[in-house]
Amino acid sequence: MKKFYFQKWILFVVFFCTISPFSYPSENNYIQGTVEFFLGNYNMDESRFKAVYGKEVAIKGIAFSASVFRFINIYFEAKYFKKDGELTYTKEKTTLQLLPVSLGIRFIKKFGLFYPFIGAGGDLYFYHEDNPIGTVLNYTRGYHFQGGVYIQPIKKIPLLFGARLKYTRAETQENDIKVQLGGFEYLGSLVLVF
């Protein structure tokens, strides 16, 4: 069931990325597509995470977007982080790896040098935790909201700088304990426009 759900997501992304170049003619005020590289901080809501791994962790990733209508585009993001910590009682080493994958839709419009945007979508959170107590490898689904702005300092060069704030809700359950893997992300990015 979970494998089938993920395959539907992939087909959706491929379909819209295929039709998007034909959705409308290129104009100066619209971004038809982007490739985005970002780096930032991830702040998980879960208090147990903060006790074991610390408050924040660096996260990096890549995103692709494609226009489907005027001012509307879809985006696909994949991010990754790895963090070492200490178990609360035994102080033994534990490692968490998280791979959030997001698919969403956003509204984006140009105002001078600025392209503000807001968006929302769904997420798959793949996670792996390894420590002397045991190993967990699983995934869960979630949803997110985000907002931000791109800045194009030189009009003739298809290069933007971006900043965004994103909040994700992604709950999972391990050994009858509910864990919220989502939280706030504060990201800066370098964006190539086509």
Kindly report, residue by residue over 65-113, the tens digit of the pLDDT: 999 988 999 999 999 999 998 888 888 899 999 999 999 999 999 898 9
What is the number of other CB atoms lying within 10 angstroms of the CB of residue 154?
Answer: 8
What CA–CA distance (Å, rounded) separates 176 from 179?
10
Q: Smallest Cα–Cα separation from 86: which of 98, 78, 75, 94?
A: 94
More confident residue, 72 or 24: 72
Helices (H) and strands (E) in the chain, counts: 2, 10
- Quote the tokens at residue 153: 């300092």
Domains and CATH numbers, the chain: 2-193 (2.40.160.20)
Percent of the chain with pLDDT over 90: 58
pTM of the model: 0.80
